[in-house]
Amino acid sequence: MAGAERSYFQHAATALVNATTGRTVLIADSLPDPIASTWMTRFPRLFARPTSLPMTVRRQMPPARDGARAQASAFGRFGTRGETDVARHLPDDEGPDSALAETPPPLLAFPRAGTTGYVLPLLDRTERLRGLFVALGGPAHRSVWIPAGAAAPVWSEALDRLRAADTVAASLLVRGYVRAVSVGGQIALLQPRYDWRGGGAPRLLYMSVLAGDTVRAARSLLQFAGRPTESAPATTDLRARVRQLYDEMRRASARGDWAAYGRAFDALGALLRDQRR
């Protein structure tokens, strides 16, 4: 981990930073080990208990990515009790282009669990996908193993097929991390494509999805699932929406709420780009 061999790795706390004030709070792990407990006793003002947070915030606490990767590596090496010849490992290439290679891997929402999770695919010696190791966040961190079926894809071949599905010139897009999700008893691989030109915020163009032997491109997950997407607004609706966003920007500017101003500004730009297309 972090470029070196570690003999000890234990989650101690999660830092929460207020995006407006910069105030930082360290939320201690619900089951601290003796070393973490010693630090908490020595510096009690640095740490807070998870119960001090509102439940709405506690549910959104993300899983510890580094700890999850360490746990997934150990599970891949040793497996569960009774397993033999496991030899599972994390993929060397998770799909992103160099522009995103150093960014944190994405989390996925799990609405039924009421939290988010970090999904890690594990491969066998032949690079075939053996299953998904899911580290869940929220009030109580826990991990789940979802084994893949016999028809699971070979990881390197799946990446090649997803890349071959590009419908836009490579110079105009940036590929994101490959997400693996369990859908209807099989594992589907999804890779987003972003328009990221001019130094602005990236904008989702479409997603390539590999499910079974089929590769498809869709503007959204709803479209991939076959659900209808909203049609483009009529001219009168467009004018009303533009006027609404402009009024939001004026009100946000008057009260100094620059975060709200930026959201309305970005929404206005996305609306106009969609109309030009």
Looking at the DSSP assignment, which residues form a beta bridge with residue 83?
A: none
* DSSP-derived secondary structure letter, 145: E
pLDDT of residue 91: 93
pLDDT of residue 231: 46
CB burial string 260-277: b at 16+ within 10 A, e below: ebeebbeebeeeeeeeee
Round to whole Å and give the CA distance between 93 and 156: 8
Query: What are the backbone dihedrals phi and psi of residue 197, each rounded to the nearest 5 degrees, phi first?
Result: -115, 155
The full set of domain ranges for the chain reads 13-53, 65-224, 235-276
Helix ranges, the chain (H): 34-42, 55-58, 65-78, 155-164, 221-224, 235-255, 258-276
Round to whole Å and give the CA distance between 225 and 181: 13
Q: What one-letter code names the amino acid at 231?
A: S
Burial of 68 (0-12, 13-18, 19+ CB in 10 A): buried
Q: pLDDT tens for the chain, 277 residues: list them.
A: 777 888 888 888 888 888 889 988 888 887 889 998 998 899 888 888 878 888 888 888 888 888 899 999 999 988 877 776 678 999 999 988 887 877 888 898 888 888 889 999 999 999 999 999 999 988 777 899 998 887 889 999 999 999 887 766 655 678 889 999 888 778 999 999 888 766 667 788 888 899 888 888 877 766 666 555 444 444 557 777 788 888 888 888 888 878 778 777 877 877 777 666 5
Round to whole Å and give the CA distance between 89 and 206: 29
pLDDT of residue 221: 67
